[in-house]
Amino acid sequence: MQKRTSDFEYTHDITILSRKNVIVLHTLLWSIFIVLLLYTILPTITVRLLYLWVYKKKVTKDGIALTFDDGPDPEFTPQLLDLLSKYQVKATFFVLGSKAEKYPDIIQRIHQEGHLVGIHNYVHWTNACMTPKKVRKQLTDSVEAIEKIIGIKPIYYRPPWGIINVFDLFLVKRFRLVLWSLMVKDWRSKGGIERIKSNLLAKLQANHIIVLHDSGQTFGANRDAPQYMLEALDAFLEICKQRSFTFLPLDTYLLLLQVKKRAPSRLAKKFLVFIWLKWERVFNRLFNIRPIDVDNQIFYSRVCKYHGKTIHLGSGEELSSGDLVIELHFNNEKLHQLITESNSMFQLAVKMKQDVQSFLPTLAQHVHLLPEKVKAIYGITMIHRGSRQLGFTVTELPKGLFSKLTQLYLKMLLYVLHPNGKDRLKLKSELLSPRIATISTEELYNKYAVSVEPIPIPEHAISIS
């Protein structure tokens, strides 16, 4: 009988351990997804969908930008240069720094024949899998290698596979990021010459930036693919010559043309807002962030431990690391509605102050009914006008990586949710600096818990993260 009890306890312990492992694995996978989303997926989608900070398509009707990635290649790049010379076409080569060092004579020939030399990283690694420091080293080493050969610092940059990370957005001060508007998958041999030529002709427009590849040595490429590309390009250029198309390197485009800074289309903007709000629903569910009042969902919240520097509250109390707080999050669907209905940031601040003021009594009653002893209400916001008048202590975020990432995230949020978000971002940076807004629960209750009827507290709203 004793043995059976022990077996049951052992099996029970194993079951609990297995559940814990599943929870840990689930949390780990979600954490990896969130990191990838913020680090590379959202920045890449943003620049591609909204044409932000990159050159992707020109507005001229009189020229095509022909670009080549992954070279130089000792076998195919000289053949390509002969072909371009035959048709008197000037192009842009986004080269790998390591290959430039290995084949300096080819880089020198590219430059001497009037083509533009740009950067495609030192080796063909995606920026999504590299730290910001590693990306900077890739670019610095490439610049030094190319400048040593042709005497000019390259300023045009195309990240491998067109994928960036969030820190690459700071590179726009040093480089001009260039993507493409037409790709024909010429790195594959399947389908041969006809597939590449027909794809080029079927999708050809006079204002395209076309990307082709003069090397088949990168991951996923066929080694002999550039040979098919060269033969297809020969036939393509002959047809373009008959149609009187003009080809120019990218720097010539930018000298002759004023690049149109297009505002994103209303459809693209709506799509981005839709994706952003859907993602936030997943985020809230993952971290158990729920509405306090289902009838007035301006705020979502969770009970968690505060981690940060000590904050001196207006009531004379101190909020220290490890104290329990209610962490407030704006319901961004409601925020989007308020932003859309406001004519200015000032009007938005007034509306938000009114909504927050009407919500605070409910929040005070919620705090009073919680079984845990919560020290303060805590939130990070970029719209903090009027917070002090409501009793909140407003402090700056400590400088560091978290502060920079928070500011970048909130600016992206403003860009996405505000119809004129791009113009809003041109305001002085101090007006768009995130702040910590905090109020002690004691002060909140003393100020706002007056003549408030008890409200039912949903079971899911009482949780400690």
The Cα–Cα gap between 38 and 23 comes to 22
Higher pLDDT, 386 or 259: 386
% of the chain beyond a pLDDT of 90: 28
* pLDDT value of position 345: 64
Return d(Cα 34, Cα 29) in angstroms, integer.
9
3-class SS string, the chain: CHHHHHHHHHHHHHHHHHHHHHHHHHHHHHHHHHHHHHHHHHHHHHHHHHCCCEECCCCCCCCEEEEEECCCCCCHHHHHHHHHHHHCCCCEEEECHHHHHHCHHHHHHHHHCCCEEEECCCCCCCHHHCCHHHHHHHHHHHHHHHHHHHCCCCCEECCHHHCCCHHHHHHHHCCEEECCCEECCCCCCCCHHHHHHHHHHHCCCCCCEEEEECCCCCCCCCCCHHHHHHHHHHHHHHHHHHCCCCECCHHHHHHHCCCCCCCCCHHHHHHHHHHHHHHHHHHHHHCCCEECCCCCCCEEEEEEECCCCCEECCCCCEECCCCEEEEEEECHHHHHHHHHHCCCHHHHHHHHHHHHHHHHHHHHHHHHHCCCCCCEEEEEECCCCCCHHHCCEEEECCCCHHHHHHHHHHHHHHHHHCCCHHHHCCCCHHHHCCEEEEEEHHHHHHHHCCCCCCCCCCHHHCCEC
Mean pLDDT of 263-275: 64
Q: Considering the entire predicted model, what is its pTM?
A: 0.58
**Residue holding tokens 């919560």?**
374
pLDDT of 155 > 80? The answer is: yes
Report the range out of 152-156, 300-304, 409-413 with the highest average pLDDT. 152-156
Average pLDDT over residues 119-129: 93
Q: Which residues pair with 396 in a beta bridge?
A: 435
CB 358 within 8 A of CB 299: no
Higher pLDDT, 145 or 422: 145
Q: Other C-beta atoms within 10 Å of 439: how many?
A: 26
Residues acting as catalytic residues: 69, 213
More confident residue, 406 or 226: 226
The residue written with tokens 């003393």 in the block is: 446
Name which of 227-231, 317-321, 457-461 the model is least confident about: 457-461
164 pLDDT exceeds 80?
A: yes
Please provide the average confidence, as pLDDT, over all residues in the chain.
79
- Percent of the chain with pLDDT strictly greater than 70: 76
Query: Residue 259: pLDDT band by 50, 70, 90 thresholds?
Result: very low
Q: What is the pLDDT of residue 249?
A: 81
- Band (pLDDT 50/70/90 cuts) for residue 278 is confident
Bigger pLDDT: 258 or 321?
321
User: Range(s) for CATH 3.20.20.370 in the chain?
Assistant: 54-256
Provide the pLDDT confidence category of residue 231 given band limits of 50, 70 and 90: very high
Structure tokens at 243: 């149609």
Least confident of 209-223, 291-305, 356-370, 407-421: 407-421
Would you place residue 314 in the very low, low, confident or very high pLDDT band (cuts 50, 70, 90)? confident
pLDDT score at 224: 93
Lowest average pLDDT, out of 74-83, 91-100, 438-447, goes to 438-447
Which of 4-13, 322-331, 354-363, 406-415 has the weakest average pLDDT? Answer: 4-13
Q: Locate 427 and state its tokens.
A: 């305001």
User: Dihedral sign, CA of 441, 444, 450, 453?
Assistant: negative
Contacts of 211 (CB under 8 A, 6+ apart): 67, 68, 69, 158, 180, 182, 183
The CATH architecture of the domain made up of 54-256 is Alpha-Beta Barrel (3.20)
Across 242-253, average pLDDT: 80
Q: What is the pLDDT of residue 297?
A: 74
Token pair of 217 as six digits:
């040595």
What pLDDT, on a 0 to 100 scale, did the predictor assign at position 237? 94
**Torsions phi, psi for 38 (to 5 deg):** -75, -35
Distance set, CA 285 to CA 193, 277, 279, 282, 302 (Å): 50, 12, 10, 5, 11
Q: How far is CA 407 from CA 175, 210, 257, 307, 349, in A?
A: 23, 35, 34, 18, 18
- Select the more confidently predicted residue: 11 or 453: 11
pLDDT band at 73; cut points 50, 70, 90? very high
Say how far apart CA 325 and CA 372 lie, in whole Å: 10
Average pLDDT over residues 205-216: 86
Instruction: Name the residue with higher pLDDT: 251 or 152.
Output: 152
Flag whether pLDDT at 152 surpasses 50. Answer: yes
